[in-house]
A and B are shown apart, each in its own frame.
Chain A
Amino acid sequence: MTTLPQSTQKKLGLVIDLDTCVGCHACVVSCKGWNTENYGAPLSDQDAYGAEPSGTFLNRVHSYEVQPEVGPAQLIHFPKSCLHCDDAPCVTVCPTGASYKRQEDGIVLVNEDACIGCGLCAWACPYGAREMDQAAGVMKKCTLCVDRIYNENLPEEDRVPSCVRTCPSGARHFGDLADETSDVSLLVASRDGMDLMPELGTKPVNKYLPPRPKDVVPEFDILAPYLEPVAKTQKGFLGWLDKALEKI
């Protein structure tokens, strides 16, 4: 059924730290690698070595410039993937029941064998989290690496989503956001984690940690008075030149 579960036992999801993300795109590459070689249809590319390459990705990193009222602009790298919304509009629009949200852990998945590739779920998603694979004709989306996180054949430290395992700056965290005592929940609480487009009522599970305020360098400097320019106005030849040029 494509109706949403009333509630889920867990809310597995990601917490993404916009303060520490360096925009290296390692998560993008590792996601593409893992999800091409494992569960479901591979993430295909079209015209990969040609003039207009394009392809399917489940995770993409944008970069934004934020110009505050005062002070210098800030550059913020912004990874974006499925937010596994509690009130996921992509699930309820699906005509075939291919899209569903799991009652046990809240992961939003696509049953590719039932997907007719109509694309309506991608239209319903405000975040651009779903992409139609042009080779397989089915909808692809982040599975939260469902084939890693419960995989007992992997060493325990690898039982997290591929993007989280790969991130070199520790900007991505994985855990149960329904459990208020989990590491990710504590992180969200301490850093004022936020929702994307909360006004659309999707109730995303994934949270974003806003960048910390920049350090302000104190103006006070003990040597500053001694380093003031001595000659306020030019004298001699340069002074004459300055005046002469100004008169022209």
Chain B
Amino acid sequence: MHPAGSVIIFTVASGLGFGLLTWLGLGLPDTVGWAAFWHYAVGFSLAGGGLLASTFHLGNPQRFLKAFSQWRSSWLSREGCLSVAAMAVLGLFAIGLIFFRVSWQPLGYIGALLAVLTIIATSMIYAQLKTVPRWNHWTTPILFLLLSLGGGALLAFQTLAGLLLLALAGGVQLLAWYLGDGRFQQSGTDIGTATGLGVRGKVRAFEPPHTGNNYLLKEMVHQVGRKHAVKLRFISFIMMILMPIGLLIISQAVPIVILALVLNVIGTFVQRWLFFAEAEHVVGLYYGKR
């Protein structure tokens, strides 16, 4: 799949933002007044900014309001509705903390739950696709959730929780890579079933329908950069998981937590780029490609 910048920024930034908002909704850290203002400002900018970035890849973004209508069937629509609901509820909760110095905690819990559901809905946009066997697996939502809550915990200075969540995320990430590498093969879909001609012999794409490029190839048969995938996996795993964990074990001083967070975010960007670049769509089979 084509690793579009807007979608990478969207999933990383809004994931981190809703991760932070989840902790804030739970009352961790327990702040009021200006301290609360800055926490929520960061949370809302990341969550809202990420959502805004996601509109940059739309063909007709001016019609975005219609995207809130199909929550009964579409994960993308659910994600939109849940994100707005989470931000509205937590916005009210934040108003209480910032301006009235009171904690309407039930509101915070509801907001935290909505933020978690938003992260899950985002990941389900990808995990629901049977056409991309690597994504179509339970590790996708679990990994998105753990990374978002782990990064959010670092932002909320919940270092112990952050440490544990990142360790868990690391384990799930390794499992996702290990299982993901075999998913396409195991799906049973190949050029033989794609053309229905597999029962007759060995099928080979002889001539493509067009000599130039097209939307399908650019969007779904993106093969550029896969050759560096192994190196990038090492880089992302070290920066996203190992280095932040190592730093947090050594010290939990504020500059160290910030450094761990920065490394984690950079690593997550690399991980998210790989998430798209390594994903193979079955439509590539029609072109004799993966």
Contact digits for B42-73, partner A, Cβ 8 Å, 1 yes 0 no: 00000000000000011111011011111011
Contact digits for A172-196, partner B, Cβ 8 Å, 1 yes 0 no: 0000000000000000000000111
Residue pair B63, A116 in contact (C-beta under 8 Å): yes
Given A66-B200, A127-B283 in contact, is the A201-B73 Cβ separation under 8 Å? no
Give Cα distance in the complex from A46 to B178, angstroms: 40
| Residue numbers in A under 8 Å from B68 (CB-CB) | 95
Identify the closest chain A residue to B200 (Cβ).
A66
Given A54-B212, A137-B58 in contact, is the A1-B204 Cβ separation under 8 Å? no
Residue pair B74, A123 in contact (C-beta under 8 Å): no
Q: Does A14 contact B (CB under 8 A)?
A: no
Given A92-B74, A120-B76, A199-B193 in contact, is the A114-B66 Cβ separation under 8 Å? yes
Contact digits for A124-147, partner B, Cβ 8 Å, 1 yes 0 no: 111110011110111100000000
Residue pair A2, B1 in contact (C-beta under 8 Å): no
Residue pair A28, B66 in contact (C-beta under 8 Å): no
Residue pair A210, B66 in contact (C-beta under 8 Å): no
- Of A28, A66, A120, which contacts B197 at CB under 8 A? A66
Residue pair A123, B72 in contact (C-beta under 8 Å): no
* B191 → chain A closest CB, angstroms: 8
Give Cα distance in the complex from A61 to B210, angstroms: 8
| Residue numbers in B under 8 Å from A124 (CB-CB) | 128-129, 131
Residue pair B76, A125 in contact (C-beta under 8 Å): no
| Residue numbers in B under 8 Å from A30 (CB-CB) | none
* A221 → chain B closest CB, angstroms: 28
Residue pair B189, A64 in contact (C-beta under 8 Å): no
Give Cα distance in the complex from A114 to B132, angstroms: 26
Q: Does B215 contact A (CB under 8 A)?
A: yes
- Of B73, B201, B208, which contacts A66 at CB under 8 A? B201
Residue pair B213, A52 in contact (C-beta under 8 Å): yes
- Of A66, A94, A196, A208, which contacts B74 at CB under 8 A? A94
CB within 8 Å of A: which B203-258 residues: 203-210, 212-216, 219-220
Q: Does A10 contact B (CB under 8 A)?
A: no
| Residue numbers in B under 8 Å from A52 (CB-CB) | 212-213
Q: Does B104 contact A (CB under 8 A)?
A: no
Q: Does A75 contact B (CB under 8 A)?
A: yes
Give Cα distance in the complex from A137 to B187, angstroms: 32
| Residue numbers in A under 8 Å from B202 (CB-CB) | 66-67
Residue pair B215, A131 in contact (C-beta under 8 Å): yes
Q: Does B281 contact A (CB under 8 A)?
A: yes
CB within 8 Å of B: which A109-165 residues: 114-120, 122-128, 131-134, 136-139
Q: Does A55 contact B (CB under 8 A)?
A: yes
| Residue numbers in A under 8 Å from B64 (CB-CB) | 116
Q: Does A93 contact B (CB under 8 A)?
A: yes
Give Cα distance in the complex from A200 to B76, angstroms: 21
Given A89-B130, A197-B282 in contact, is the A97-B66 Cβ separation under 8 Å? yes
| Residue numbers in A under 8 Å from B208 (CB-CB) | 62
- B: which residues have CB within 8 A of A? 1, 57-61, 63-64, 66-70, 72-77, 80, 125, 128-132, 187-189, 191, 193-197, 200-210, 212-216, 219-220, 281-283, 286-287
What 11 additional pairs, Cβ within 8 angstroms, besides A54-B215, A122-B216, A131-B214?
A57-B210, A62-B205, A64-B197, A96-B67, A115-B59, A117-B60, A123-B1, A123-B129, A126-B189, A126-B194, A210-B200
- Enumerate 27 A-B pairs (CB-CB under 8 Å) in ascending A order: A2-B73, A18-B197, A25-B209, A52-B212, A54-B212, A54-B214, A57-B214, A62-B195, A64-B197, A64-B205, A78-B195, A80-B209, A89-B131, A95-B74, A95-B77, A96-B67, A97-B69, A116-B58, A116-B59, A116-B64, A117-B58, A119-B59, A123-B129, A126-B131, A138-B59, A199-B189, A200-B189
